[in-house]
Amino acid sequence: MSGFRYADDLLTVFPTTRGGVIHAAGLENGPSPAVFADRFRDQQKKVKDDLGDTPLSELPSISAWRSTFTRFGVKPTQHRSAAEALLRRLVKQGEIPSINLLVDLANLTSITHRLPVAVFDQAEVAGVTTVRFATGDERFVDLASDDITVPDPGEVIFVDDAGSVSARRWCWRQSRQSAARESTVEALITVEGHHPEAEPDVTAALEDLLGLLAFHQPESRVTFDLLTPGHAEFLRG
């Protein structure tokens, strides 16, 4: 059994959670082709122009993530949600560097919809990935490190059935083993929100991701779902 779920006690505390999830197999990752690189570059300019001088903290989706972080004990200006960190980089540095096609697809969708989008390589995942409160007994290896650390008890994590953490502080940072790389052939892609319009916004972002995968990964096999407190599991036998 594999898949993605939200723990019941997490949704009791955060009933605003809306999560789009895609499982994609048969992927062929690598550098972004020129046609996509041009689109990504053009969209970055458009988003930067649209934002203008608006503080990121005033965007409804970003404000909601800040409140969510605060509620599980994380200072949102010290550990920023992935969407805010990406937009902040775009505003301050003027561009977002290309990593690889899958990451670039996620980043394009993230800046367009102002929502965190993550791509998790599934090669080393054991069973189902659950979003839940950490006990402090789980294991995490940062993207830039070989050292095993543990999350703080009570922080929100993405964790598999073996206790391996693929993301800390909900959507702050991924693990090294979960990062999409050129060898990625199977991935779980998530997009999440908490603001009042999260459900339609997550749905729109999910549709964009599906369209991008259909165009740039036409041989991939894709399944997807929208998760809510009333439908909190996306399981695959």
DSSP bridge pairs for 167: 158, 174
Give yes or no for residue 146 having a pLDDT over 90. Answer: no
Chain center to CA of 231 = 19
3-state secondary structure of 213: helix
Q: Where are the domains of the chain?
A: 2-236
Give yes or no for residue 41 having a pLDDT over 90. Answer: yes
Give yes or no for residue 70 having a pLDDT over 90. Answer: yes
DSSP bridge pairs for 121: 187
What are 201-217's pLDDT values in tens digits? Answer: 999 999 999 999 999 99
Give yes or no for residue 79 having a pLDDT over 80. Answer: yes
Q: What pLDDT sits at residue 213?
A: 98
Q: Starting from the edge strand earliest in sequence, which strands make up the sheet with 165-168, in order?
A: 173-174, 165-168, 156-159, 128-133, 2-6, 233-236
Domain 2-236: which CATH number of 3.20.20.70, 3.50.40.10, 3.50.30.50, 3.30.1370.110: 3.50.40.10
Give yes or no for residue 237 having a pLDDT over 90. Answer: no
Give yes or no for residue 1 having a pLDDT over 90. Answer: no
Q: Kindly state the tokens that stand for 4.
A: 């993605």
The model carries a pTM of 0.97
Give the pLDDT band of residue 198 (cuts 50, 70, 90): very high
Give yes or no for residue 236 having a pLDDT over 90. Answer: no
